[in-house]
């Protein structure tokens, strides 16, 4: 049975666009809350919006005139709409934020947020709790402190916490295998519970003090330690007094590096937005337990016509799409939808969440400080972007491109005589290196000769551009305008062949060949139908291109080393059924090496924790012992 072709009436409807196309949906739309998507003729999402009444909101787009330029352009480009009804406007807001963050439509406010914030985890599933950095799902039993704005902030805090509370940071396997204290004990950053240098009850006191300090009771902890230090000093126990003094110094070090620590509120997130030159910066500060746990700037993509408050409102909704909001959120702008947003965040957090624009007092002072940070950060970004645009203009001029490249991809390979061969791609554009777009390629071809750079480059480019061609109907945002290949005319010919086979015609290709003796500055550039050439040694564009090539080389080398190290540490134990990572680690810990296991008896292997006589026989047989 074959599908019937669409009727003339259906074809006519599908051919419509703009207000006329939007008009066709009004007859069937409910007067109910929901989310709508506006799509162009190619199926790309233009805009995602929420509405208390879908019928009334969509009807507003049909009216002629009165729309600002951004909305008018969006309406004119609309060829199709999709709708989802929800139980309430609050649920519509949550769904809208989720879809915007996932689809990043052209006319919505969107921002890059590709990784979670780190936390400090105090593990409590062991008699001697471990203090460590944690990122991702909170599946491990323990107390989590965060979020921290960056891994650097966590590392600095952890280092000081180790000096202040002497809690272990080693893994359980290392803890169980220690027979004498490690270096951290020698430099007074651990109390060495692994070798019983401290009683369990005393270690528990350190854990309680650390937890109290991180939950905002730092003054109480410090006051008690001061009393203990004075008592030790008066009792002529100067060694203990000195240890307590050093711990107090470490706590003070943490507080001094946190900047402003509030006294009028305990837990809050702060959002300060500043707009200039058609761009906007949102500074996000985290306060937990009365302590400042760092800040992070964001530069959301938004239309120049949008008010700062509207950008901030959409930003906050997306920011908490996959995060739990705190009880208090301080913002720099009065937002028209703040009531609905607070209601939606309260629903998500399952407790009351308050949005507040402070007008005076300590909260206002901290907000003004955050606004100043946002202003300065945006000024630096505008200056950097201006210089970056000049460099990209210079690249276009040097290579004779029709327009300034928006996205540059650079490719490189790395291997040692063909072993652990990898390919790498880095991406650069108007915002500098876009590390979230970097890609690694493990060379899979089995028929390549060792060290066949041409074959490796062919595989990498084929895999990359075949995928782009396949996804081209969905989005063109990932297509490069310029591709740089690390190599001369041979590598360039391979790249040209790959693109021609895939029917790709609108990507400029340039081969970057190292100069004589691999001297930087003497690179030759190879383009199709053009003689090789060099750039002036003092040309900023040359330095920029060298940076791109070096970054691709660094990224490729790093991935190659990881693969090589994994290959070197692999052993026959990896493929043995029943011998997983835990048993393998215990065997290596007990015997020191695979070779030593090979010479051990079945009984000795079976005596290792977690092993059985059957498994021991299997290990012995696999090792040929």
516-539 pLDDT per residue, tens = 555 555 788 999 888 899 888 888
Q: Token digits for 62? A: 């049909």
Strands 142-145, 524-527: pairing kind: unpaired
pLDDT in tens, 449-483: 777 888 888 999 999 998 888 775 445 567 899 99
Per-residue pLDDT, 89? 93
Indicate where the chain has its CATH 1.10.150.20 domain(s).
572-623
Whole-number Å distance between alpha carbons of 329 and 318: 14
Q: Token digits for 123? A: 């593990």
Please, which residues have CB within 8 angstroms of residue 586's CB and are 6 or more apart in sequence?
A: 173, 608, 609, 610, 611
Indicate where the chain has its CATH 3.30.420.340 domain(s).
407-567
**What is the model's pTM?**
0.65
Band (pLDDT 50/70/90 cuts) for residue 309 is: very high
Per-residue pLDDT, 7? 52
Cβ contact 293:280 at 8 Å = no
**CATH assignment, 8-103:** 3.40.1440.10
Band (pLDDT 50/70/90 cuts) for residue 515 is: low
Helix (H) or strand (E) holding 240: helix 238-256
Strand partners, 355: 329
Nearest of 291, 266, 289, 285 to residue 331 by alpha carbon: 285
Q: Token digits for 164? A: 């202040």
Indicate where the chain has its CATH 3.30.420.10 domain(s).
268-288+295-379
Q: Is the pLDDT of residue 146 over 90?
A: no
Per-residue pLDDT, 474? 47
Per-residue pLDDT, 4? 46
CATH class for the domain made up of 268-288+295-379? alpha beta
What CATH architecture is 572-623? Orthogonal Bundle (1.10)
Q: Is the pLDDT of residue 115 over 70?
A: no
Per-residue pLDDT, 280? 93
**CATH assignment, 407-567:** 3.30.420.340
Query: What's 110's DSSP letter?
Result: B
Band (pLDDT 50/70/90 cuts) for residue 233 is: confident
3-state per-residue secondary structure call for 563-613: HHHHHHHCCHHHHCCCCCHHHHHHHHHHHCCHHHHHHCCHHHHHCCCCCCH
Cβ contact 47:71 at 8 Å = no
Strands 119-123, 142-145: pairing kind: antiparallel
Whole-number Å distance between alpha carbons of 598 and 398: 62
Nearest of 499, 105, 165 to residue 314 by alpha carbon: 105
Q: Is the pLDDT of residue 240 over 90?
A: no
Largest CA-CA distance found in the chain, in angstroms, rounded: 100
Whole-number Å distance between alpha carbons of 240 and 231: 10
Please, which residues have CB within 8 angstroms of residue 354's CB and are 6 or more apart in sequence?
A: 327, 328, 329, 342
Whole-number Å distance between alpha carbons of 422 and 419: 9
């Amino acid at each position: 049975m074959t599908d019937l072709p669409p009727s003339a009436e259906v074809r006519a409807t599908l051919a419509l666009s703009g207000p006329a196309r939007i008009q066709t949906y009004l007859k069937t739309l409910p007067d109910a809350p929901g989310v709508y998507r506006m799509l162009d003729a190619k199926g790309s999402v233009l805009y995602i919006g929420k509405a208390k009444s879908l019928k009334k909101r969509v009807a507003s787009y049909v009216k002629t005139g009165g729309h600002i330029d951004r909305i008018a352009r969006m309406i004119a480009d609309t060829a199709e709409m999709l709708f989802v009804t929800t139980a309430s406007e609050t649920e519509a807001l949550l769904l809208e934020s989720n879809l915007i963050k996932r689809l990043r439509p052209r006319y919505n406010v969107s921002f890059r947020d590709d990784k979670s914030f780190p936390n400090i985890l105090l593990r409590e599933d062991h008699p001697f709790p471990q203090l460590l950095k944690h990122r991702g799902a909170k599946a491990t039993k323990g107390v989590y402190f965060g979020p921290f704005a960056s891994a650097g902030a966590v590392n600095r805090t952890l280092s000081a916490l180790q000096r202040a509370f002497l809690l272990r940071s080693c893994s359980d396997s290392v803890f169980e295998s220690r027979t004498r204290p490690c270096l951290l004990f020698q430099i007074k950053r651990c109390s060495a519970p692994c070798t019983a240098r401290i009683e369990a009850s005393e270690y528990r006191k350190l854990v309680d003090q650390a937890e109290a300090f991180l939950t905002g009771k730092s003054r109480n902890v410090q006051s008690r330690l001061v009393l203990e230090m004075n008592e030790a000093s008066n009792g002529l126990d100067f060694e203990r007094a000195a240890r307590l003094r050093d711990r107090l110094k470490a706590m003070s070090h943490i507080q001094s590096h946190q900047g402003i620590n509030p006294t009028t509120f305990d837990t809050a997130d702060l959002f300060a937005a500043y707009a200039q030159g058609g761009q906007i910066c949102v500074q996000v500060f985290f306060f937990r337990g009365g302590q400042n746990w760092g800040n992070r700037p964001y530069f959301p993509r938004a239309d120049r016509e949008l008010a700062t408050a509207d950008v901030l409102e959409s930003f906050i909704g997306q920011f908490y799409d996959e995060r739990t909001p705190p009880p208090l959120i301080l913002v720099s702008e009065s937002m028209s939808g703040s009531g609905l947003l607070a209601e939606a965040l309260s629903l998500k957090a399952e407790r009351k969440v308050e949005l507040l624009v402070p007008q005076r007092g300590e909260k206002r002072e901290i907000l003004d400080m955050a606004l100043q940070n946002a202003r300065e950060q945006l000024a630096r970004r505008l200056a950097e972007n201006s210089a970056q645009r000049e460099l990209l203009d210079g690249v276009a001029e040097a290579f004779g491109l029709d327009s300034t490249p928006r996205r540059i991809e650079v490719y490189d390979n790395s291997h040692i005589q063909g072993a652990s061969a990898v390919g790498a791609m880095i991406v650069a554009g108007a915002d500098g290196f876009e590390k979230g777009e970097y890609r690694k390629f493990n060379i899979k071809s089995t028929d390549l000769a060792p060290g066949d750079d041409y074959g490796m480059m062919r595989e990498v480019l084929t895999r990359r551009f075949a995928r782009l061609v396949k996804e081209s109907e969905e989005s063109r945002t990932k297509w490069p305008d310029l591709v740089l290949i690390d190599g001369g005319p041979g590598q360039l010919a391979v790249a040209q062949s790959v693109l021609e086979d895939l029917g790709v015609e609108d990507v400029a290709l340039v081969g970057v060949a190292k100069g004589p003796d691999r001297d930087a500055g003497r690179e030759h550039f190879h383009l199709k139908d053009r003689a090789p050439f060099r750039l002036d040694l003092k040309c900023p564009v040359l330095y920029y291109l060298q940076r791109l090539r070096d970054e691709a080389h660094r990224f490729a080398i790093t991935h190659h080393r990881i693969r090589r190290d994994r290959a070197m540490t692999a052993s026959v134990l990896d493929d043995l059924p029943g011998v997983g990572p835990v048993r393998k680690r215990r065997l290596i810990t007990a015997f020191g090496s695979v070779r030593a296991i090979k010479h051990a008896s079945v009984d000795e292997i079976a005596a290792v924790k977690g092993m059985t006589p059957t498994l021991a026989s299997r290990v012995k047989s696999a090792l040929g012992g």
